[in-house]
Amino acid sequence: MSTVFPGRSPAWAVAAAMLLLPAAIAQAQTIERVRMTDNDLSCQQIYNETVQMDAVVARASQPSAAPVAAAADANNAQVGAQVAGAVAQTAIAHGAVRSGFAGFGGGSLLGGLLGGAAQQAATANAQQQAMAQQQAALQAQQGAVLAQQAQGRKEHLTTMFLAKGCKLGDMQK
């Protein structure tokens, strides 16, 4: 079962994420280079917005560590599930031999069931890791687009600042 969508299979979670991915792309923030109200801005307002655009560029340029950590956690959980499955199979096989059920297939059947459960957990974790990597790539792409738009807006604002005869020394910082 998926931990992201309780009560649903991991395949359902991947399908739901793929359906939601285009919606996330469509909701990406955009920054207009030129606005109809730009001529109404005072020198101080132009300066303040230029500082905001610098902040947007700086924020968008920073890599996000959260998706990388999530991918590492998912990988660790996958390895843990595989190890737990192998340990359980070994313990059951040894227990079945000691109790005399090895000839009846009891040890290998139960070990196979636990191994199958561990494999399902590993598959689910691999799918979650792939989703985390896709999300990180999408966020990086959106950040690059946003930084480019903010840089374009800043260039336009700087041109307006100079054209209006504004002076940097007169601005309140």
Is the pLDDT reported for residue 26 higher than 50? no
What secondary structure, in 3-state letters, does the chain show? CCCCCCCCCHHHHHHHHHHHHHHHHHCCCCCCCCCCCHHHCCHHHHHHHHHHHHHHHHHHHCCCCHHHHHHHHHHHHHHHHHHHHHHHHHHHHHHHHHHCCHHHCHHHHHHHHHHHHHHHHHHHHHHHHHHHHHHHHHHHHHHHHHHHHHHHHHHHHHHHHHHCCCCHHHCCC
Q: Assess if residue 17 is contained within a domain.
A: no
For 27-72, write each residue's pLDDT tens digit.
568 999 999 999 999 999 999 999 999 999 999 888 765 555 555 5
| Mean pLDDT in residue range 87-97 | 57
Please count the structural domains in the chain.
1
pLDDT of residue 66: 52
104: in domain: yes
Residue of 132 and 115 predicted with greater confidence = 132
84: in domain = yes
- In a domain, residue 35? The reply is no
Residue 141's domain comprises: 40-166
- Domain membership of residue 94 (yes or no) is yes
Helix axes 43-61, 106-163, angle to 10 degrees: 150
Of residues 148 and 75, more confidently modeled = 148
Domain for residue 122, yes or no? yes
Asked if residue 102 is part of any domain, the answer here is yes
User: pLDDT digit string (tens) for 128-146?
Assistant: 999 999 998 888 888 899 9
**Residue 25 pLDDT exceeds 50:** no
Domain-embedded: residue 29:
no
Of 104, 114, 106, the residue nearest 83 (C-alpha): 114
User: Which pLDDT band holds residue 90 (cuts at 50, 70, 90)?
Assistant: low
In contact, 114 and 85? CB cutoff 8 Å = yes
Q: For 7-18, write each residue's pLDDT tens digit.
A: 656 555 555 555
